[in-house]
Structure 1
């Protein structure tokens, strides 16, 4: 049996976000695309991210605190409560360290963070993020595995 070499490449970071309840879903998507996206673009470019995508999707999931890999424990008689989300922000970067360092940029807190505070539900879930997960990208083109970054 052939061994598989460890994947060297990008990671995808998926942030399941919850809109500010004062906004309709349509108003949220409009602001996210036309106002927030153009603010994120220069930051993504400055820090060498491969991709930033906005995924317009709604659903519900168990909240997982940013930085954790598992949901908080529930007591034995109940399951963790599901929390609705209104979209997924997807970032493709070469490393989690690069992403964390980029969030320390004053532009992130002064421009992006201020806008997030307007459009995301900062009360129900920390920073408007219901769940953030990340993992290694294994990419294929024309049926062949390629290095993503």
Structure 2
């Protein structure tokens, strides 16, 4: 029997999916080989691990003209910390795209909320600037 918390989480997931689906049209996943190839600009494939996939998807998002990228990671996750180390170079290479790494440990954190708010402002500014070019 599934826990109540699990059912609540699945309910929220379905609600979020339903609301965001119209905005996700045309954003089907690209083949894994292409993701890895994209990520090799930042991480060599022979290093192993999944950081190359995260960076490859970030490159894909830039190619698709998204206005910001969030990397959500579990607290102290080595993969996430590795990706966070590449963010400054990635931003420099990609017209200073807003890209933030957010660690999540299950607790409320006002600093994290402030970083997300700042990220949202940066994404809105980037979007508005593109509209008027």
TM-score normalised over the length of structure 1: 0.22
- Of Structure 1 and Structure 2, the greater helix share is in 2
TM-score normalised over the length of structure 2: 0.24
